[in-house]
Chains A and B, each alone.
Chain A
C-alpha cells in the first residue's frame, strides 16, 4: 500500500524549503482608512532536510501568517517558496503536488476536525482527494490511528466530541501523515494541551520524525519546548526575522536584544533565579505602522539614534547564526559589546 511516494530530489545538502523575501500584507479596506497590516515583511530563511526549525516570537509577530503562507492557505504578496529545488506553483511543482508534501497541524484540535465526520473519514479524506479508493484510504486511516497510539477499533468511528484534546491532536497528526508529507508545519500544535498530554504528544512527534524521516517547522511561544525540540530556531518580531541560528547558540549566545529579552522572560526552573524585573515593557508597536529603522528600537535597552534610521539586515555573527542588530554585528561600525549576563541563568 504505497499509493504515492514523495521522494527526495536534490540530496541531503539542498535545503528542503527556501523562503525568499516573503511578503504578506493585509489591507484593511476603505472603512478603516485603507491601512495595511504588515504581517510578514521580507522574510527569508531556509528549512534544512530532516531538521526541526523552531519559530518563536510574541503573539501578533507574524508566526501564524508565515505558517499559512508556507502551507499556501494564504497567497503571498511577493516572494517565492522553493521546495527541494523547485519553485512552488511552477509547472514542475504545481500547488497540488506541493501540498501533498507539506502538511500542517493546527493549534485548536477541535476546530481542525469536522464535527460531522468520523476520525476515519477525516483522516482518509486527503488520500481520497488524490484518487485513492475509499476502502484503501480508510484502511490506511486505521493503520495511522494505531500508529499515533489510538486503538482503531475504538476510535475509527468516533466523532470529535467523543475524544479528549490530546486524542484529537493525535488524530490531527495522523491526518497530516496520511498525505505522506516530507515537511509538517506544527502551528502551536501542542500549546493548547495539558502539560502531561503535551509531553506525550511531543514524544510522539519526535518518534514520528525519526521513523518517517520528517522535517518540522515548529511554531510555538513556549521556549522550553522549542529548545527541547528544535535543531535551529528562528526569532520573529513584528513580521521580520531578527535572529536565526542553531538552538544552543541562540540560547547561550544570542546576539539580538529581543531574543535576549524573550529568553529572560522564560520562567526558570530554579526559584533562586526567578525573573524579578519584566524584561520588556509594553506591547509591541502596531504592525500597521511599524517603527522606522530597526523595528525593535522603541523597546530596546541598547538603542542608539542610528537604530531609528538604519534598517539592520541579517548578518552572520557565528557559525550558521545570523542576527539583525546593528549593535551586535561584528563588522558593523556601530558594534559594541552587549553584556551577556542577562541570560546567564538560562544557559
Chain B
C-alpha cells in the first residue's frame, strides 16, 4: 500500500543534523550553572571522603583519652579539637561521612524505586485501582515523618538495618504521591491515547511513553529528600535507635556533644555543620536539576 508510492524526498541514510540527546542537554545546562557546579563539587568531595575515609585519617577515631577531652579547634595534634571522650574530631568527622551518607541516601534510593513504581502504576491505572493504592498510601502519609520514623524504628528495635527500613517506609508514600500526580497528568495527554490506539500493552506504554516524562520530576523530588533523610537518620541515632556508639555518625556525634555546647561550642557544632552542608548541597542540587531538566513546552 504505502510502498507503492515514490517518496517525494529521497530517504537520506546519514543523519546530518541530529539534535543532541535529552540527558546530554541536561548535563550541559548543569555545567553552565555556577551554583550547580559548586554543589556538585561539594557532593563529589563528600562521596570521596565516604569512599576513601579510612585511608585519609591520621589518628585512631576510637582512641579515647581522659586527659585530652574537649580540646578546642587548633590544638596540637587535634586540628578540629577532641570530643567528650578525647577522640580526634577530624578523624571521626571524616569516618562518619560514610555512615551518614549511607543512612541518608540508601532509604531514598529504595523509596525512589518502590514509591515510584507504586505511584506510576496508580497514576496510570486511574479509577478504582488508583483510589485503592493511594488511600492505602495516605494512611502512612497521615503521620508526621519524624514520628513515623521513630515509631517504626522503635517498634522494630534499634539497629542500622531497622533504621534504614523505617526511613524507607517513611519516604515511600511521599515519592508515590509525586509519582502518582505526574503520571496522572501524563496519562491524559493525547500521545498516550495515540499509543493505546496502536494496541500496545499498558506495560509497553509505561516503559516507552510514560517513564521518560515522569522519572525526571520523581528523581528531582527524591534528591531533595536526601537532606531530610540525613536529618531524620541523625535524629534516630540521637535517640539511640539508629547507629550505636562508638561508631562515628554525625547525628550521633551531635547528640553526645550537645552537653558540651557551653564548654566547646565550636567543636560541638561541627557535626551539625557537616549535616547542614551536606543537606543544603543536595537541596540545591535538586533545585538546579529541576531547572536544568525543564523542557520547553
Number of interface residues of B (CB under 8 A): 38
The listed residue (B8, B198, B201, B295) touching A147 by CB distance below 8 A is B8
**Interface status of A333 (Cβ within 8 A of chain B):** no
A154 touches B16 (CB 8 A): yes
Residue of B nearest to A96 (CB): B199
Report B6-47 CB contacts with A as 1/0, cut-off 8 Å.
011111101111110010000000000000000000000000
Does B17 lie within 8 Å of A125, measured CB to CB? no
A-contact 0/1 string along B196-214, CB 8 Å cutoff: 1111110010001100110
| A125 in complex: contacting residue of B3, B7, B198, CB < 8 Å | B198
Q: State the majority secondary structure of interface residues on B.
A: loop
Q: A157-B18, A175-B194 are in contact. Are A125 and B200 (CB under 8 A)?
A: yes
Q: Which positions 41-84 of chain A face chain B at CB distance < 8 Å?
A: 68, 71, 73
Does A177 lie within 8 Å of B212, measured CB to CB? no
Instruction: Assess the B193–A130 pair: CB atoms within 8 A.
Output: no
A180–B196 CB distance below 8 A: no
**Given A112-B190, A114-B212, A147-B8, also A71-B17 (CB < 8 A):** no
B191 and A146: CB pair below 8 A?
no
Answer whether residue A108 sits at the interface, using C-beta atoms and an 8 A cutoff: yes
1/0 contact trace for B257-280 toward A, CB 8 Å?
000000000000000000000000
Which one of A6, A68, A126, A153 lies within 8 Å of B15 (CB-CB)? Answer: A153
> When chains A and B are docked, how far (Å) is the Cα of A5 from the Cα of B1?
8
In the complex, whether B128 has a CB less than 8 A from a CB of chain A is no
> What is the CA–CA distance of A165 and B268 in the complex, to the nearest angstrom?
62
Contact A159 B204 (CB under 8 A): no
Interface stretch, picked from A16-24, A98-106, A278-286, A335-343, is A98-106
Name the one of B22, B191, B199 contacting A113, with C-beta atoms under 8 angstroms. B191
Report chain A residues within 8 Å CB of B14. Answer: 153
B2 contacts A by Cβ under 8 Å: yes
Closest partner residue, chain A, to B208 (CB atom)? A125
Q: Mark A139-157, 1 if CB is under 8 A from B, else 0.
A: 1001110110101111011
State whether A73 touches B8 (Cβ < 8 A).
no
Chain A residue contacts of B212, Cβ below 8 A: 114, 116-117
Closest chain A residue to B12 by CB distance? Answer: A153
Is B296 positioned at the interface, with any CB of A under 8 Å from its CB?
yes
Asked, given contacts A113-B191, A125-B208, whether A158 binds B11 with beta carbons under 8 Å apart, the answer is no
Partner of B17, one of A68, A111, A153, A175: A153
Q: Mark A87-123, 1 if CB is under 8 A from B, else 0.
A: 0000000011101101110101001111111000010
CB-defined A-B contacts under 8 Å, sample of 6? A71-B193, A108-B190, A112-B193, A113-B191, A125-B209, A153-B16
